[in-house]
Structures are given as C-alpha cells and as structure tokens.
C-alpha cells in the first residue's frame, strides 16, 4: 500500500509541476510568441501549448523510465 501512495504522490507532484509550467507558458510565452508570429493568429497558442505539453510528457515519462529501469524487478 505504501508503494502505491508513493506513486500517486509522485504523479500528483509531476502534474502540479506541469500545471505550473503550463500556466507560466500561457502567461508569458504565448503572448510573446503571438507578437513575434502574428500571421499565425489564434492557432499559435494551440501549437505552443501542444508542443510544451508534449515536451513535458516526454520528459516525465523518460525520467520515470530511467529511474524505473534501474530498479531490480
């Protein structure tokens, strides 16, 4: 039971960190990109959000796989 709580805690922490990063991107990075690339208009925010979400997910899954692979089964 303790291992499951640790996993849920780590997932919750990673989700919290992803939310903070997404909020920072929405507040600062997306408006800057809209000013730099005005020709893309409304689609820029979706492209940036998707790219950031994909990068965060790949980083978290990669870190999880790296740490999980070092433990004996």
pLDDT at residue 40, as a whole number: 65
For the cut 80, the answer to whether the pLDDT of residue 30 exceeds it is no
Band (73; pLDDT cuts 50, 70, 90): low
Q: Is 49 exposed, middle or buried (0-12, 13-18, 19+ CB in 10 A)?
A: middle
For the cut 70, the answer to whether the pLDDT of residue 18 exceeds it is yes
For the cut 60, the answer to whether the pLDDT of residue 33 exceeds it is yes
CA angle 64, 67, 72 (to 5 degrees): 125
CA angle 60, 64, 67 (to 5 degrees): 140
């Amino acid at each position: 039971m303790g291992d499951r709580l640790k996993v849920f805690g780590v997932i919750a922490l990673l989700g919290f960190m992803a939310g903070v990063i997404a909020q920072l991107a929405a507040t600062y990075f997306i408006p800057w990109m809209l000013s730099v690339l005005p020709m893309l208009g409304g689609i820029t925010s979706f492209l940036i959000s998707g790219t950031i979400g994909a990068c965060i997910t790949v980083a978290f899954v990669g870190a999880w796989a790296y740490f999980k692979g070092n433990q004996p089964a």
